[in-house]
Amino acid sequence: MNMILIWWKAFFVHCSQHDEIFRFKKELAENIYACMEMSRQSYTDVILMPIKRFQDYLKWKTQLEEDKQKRLEEETKKYG
Q: Which residues contact 49 (CB under 8 A, 6 or more apart)?
A: 35, 57
**Type of residue numbered 21:** I
Convert the pLDDT of each residue in 24-51 to its tens digit.
889 999 999 999 998 999 999 999 999 9
Model pLDDT, residue 41: 93
Model pLDDT, residue 1: 54
Domain count within the chain = 1
Q: Are 41 and 55 in contact (CB under 8 A)?
A: no
Longest dimension (CA), the chain: 74
CA distance 15 to 20: 10
CA distance 41 to 34: 10
Convert the pLDDT of each residue in 2-15 to its tens digit.
666 677 677 776 66
pTM: 0.63
Convert the pLDDT of each residue in 51-71 to its tens digit.
999 999 999 999 999 999 999
Could you list the residue range(s) of the whole structural domain that residue 44 is in? Answer: 2-79
Confidence bin at 80 (pLDDT 50/70/90): low
